[in-house]
């Protein structure tokens, strides 16, 4: 297992509704979970509105920097769905009605006795040369061009498309993580934890403060691609928590006049 096998990814979530607060994104967290399980490092996320220039600029920055880019949103049939056009522009290819997508969608609407309107035909548009991402929920496919995977914004559809994408990616070395509940706030553990991190450089130790309205506690998460490294760091963290507990107990005993010094 070498670092060279680790793939990186970025996400671009597209939609004015995400920036206005009208819709609260649910796709970023889901993609993050799925990529972690797949052993792919999500390194950056951007959210932009339905503006071609903004989408193209973000796509160009991300697709050159990371192994995979995943987008959500903007591939429906309305006037503000411009993701296919923007992706085509970024790749410098025409955006056109894909023959297979036209057949799939045409057949679906015929089965349902619905008209295959001009608006609905927009959902068959994709960059020339793109491959489909199947959409088992509502038929209209996502697509892949280069390293960019274009998916729907509706969470049920995004998730179904992602299931179809993720299995096609070469899996990275999986990240193993271990979570350790720590009853102390970050201020109590910060200096010692920095020492643990330094002593275990092959791991990434995250510290996530939790606040119950009264006091902070912390969840500590050790991540690494090597199980033995995770174990070693976890042992060190548990020893750290025990040492802080003992110190606090001693201080309390001293305050109460019942400690060794009393």
67 is a site residue for a second copy (CB under 8 A): no
- Of the candidate residues 14, 38, 48, 241, the single one contacting a second copy (CB under 8 A): 48
CB 149 within 8 A of CB 142: yes
Pair of tokens at residue 259: 């400690």
214 is a site residue for a second copy (CB under 8 A): no
- Of the candidate residues 6, 44, 164, 169, the single one contacting a second copy (CB under 8 A): 44
119 is a site residue for a second copy (CB under 8 A): yes
Backbone angles phi, psi at 50, to 5 degrees: -80, 65
Backbone angles phi, psi at 153, to 5 degrees: -90, -25
CB 51 within 8 A of CB 19: no
- Of the candidate residues 52, 67, 132, 138, the single one contacting a second copy (CB under 8 A): 138
Handedness of CA 106, 71, 152, 16 (dihedral sign): negative
- Of the candidate residues 107, 171, 181, 194, the single one contacting a second copy (CB under 8 A): 194
8 is a site residue for a second copy (CB under 8 A): no
83 is a site residue for a second copy (CB under 8 A): no
Q: Give the Å distances, CA to CA, from 243 to 21, 39, 166.
A: 45, 34, 43
Tokens 């274009």, residue?
Answer: 150
Q: For the window 139-178, what string marks contact with a second copy as x by the rule CB under 8 A?
A: --------------xx-xx-----------------x-x-
Instruction: List the beta strands (DSSP E) in 51-187.
Output: 68-72, 95-97, 125-127, 131-133, 142-145, 148-151, 176-182
- Of the candidate residues 64, 79, 167, 256, the single one contacting a second copy (CB under 8 A): 79
157 vs 178: CA distance, rounded Å? 31
Find the shortest distance in angstroms from Cβ 198 to a second copy.
Answer: 8
- Pick out residues in 223-252 that bind a second copy (CB under 8 A): 223
- Of the candidate residues 46, 63, 125, 149, the single one contacting a second copy (CB under 8 A): 46
Scored b (16 or more CB within 10 A) or e, 133-144 reads bebeeebbbbbb
**Contact window for a second copy (CB under 8 A) among 86-94, 127-135, 189-197, 233-241:** 189-197
202 is a site residue for a second copy (CB under 8 A): no
- Pick out residues in 13-42 that bind a second copy (CB under 8 A): 16-25, 28-36, 41-42
Query: Residue 70 pairs with which residues in a beta bridge?
Result: 11, 149
222 is a site residue for a second copy (CB under 8 A): no
CB nearer to a second copy: give 119 or 239.
Answer: 119
How many of the chain's residues bind a second copy (CB under 8 A)?
Answer: 75
- Of the candidate residues 120, 125, 149, 225, the single one contacting a second copy (CB under 8 A): 120
86 vs 128: CA distance, rounded Å? 13
Q: What is the CA radius of gyration of the chain?
A: 25
């Amino acid at each position: 297992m070498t670092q060279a096998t680790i793939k990186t990814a970025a996400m671009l979530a597209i939609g004015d509704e995400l920036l206005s607060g009208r819709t609260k994104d649910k796709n970023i967290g889901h993609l993050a979970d799925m990529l972690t399980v797949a052993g792919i490092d999500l390194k950056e996320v951007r959210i932009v509105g339905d503006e071609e220039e903004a989408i193209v600029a973000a796509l160009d920055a991300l697709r050159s920097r990371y192994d995979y880019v995943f987008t959500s949103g903007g591939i429906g049939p309305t006037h503000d769905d411009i993701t296919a056009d923007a992706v085509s522009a970024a790749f410098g290819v025409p955006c056109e009605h894909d023959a297979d997508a036209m057949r799939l969608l045409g057949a679906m609407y015929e089965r349902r006795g619905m008209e295959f309107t001009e608006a609905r035909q927009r959902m068959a548009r994709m960059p020339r040369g793109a491959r489909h991402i199947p959409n088992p929920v509502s038929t209209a496919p996502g697509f892949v061009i280069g390293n960019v995977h274009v998916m729907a914004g509706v969470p049920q559809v995004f998730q179904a498309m992602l299931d179809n994408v993720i299995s096609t990616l070469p899996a990275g070395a999986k990240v193993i993580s271990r979570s350790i509940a720590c009853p102390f706030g970050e201020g109590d553990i910060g200096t010692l934890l920095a020492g643990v991190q330094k002593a275990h450089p092959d791991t990434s130790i995250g510290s996530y403060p939790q606040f119950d309205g009264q006091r902070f506690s912390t969840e500590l998460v050790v991540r690494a691609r090597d199980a033995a490294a995770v174990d070693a760091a976890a042992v060190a963290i548990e020893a750290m928590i025990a040492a802080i507990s003992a110190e606090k107990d001693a201080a309390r005993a001293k305050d109460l006049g019942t400690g060794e010094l009393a």
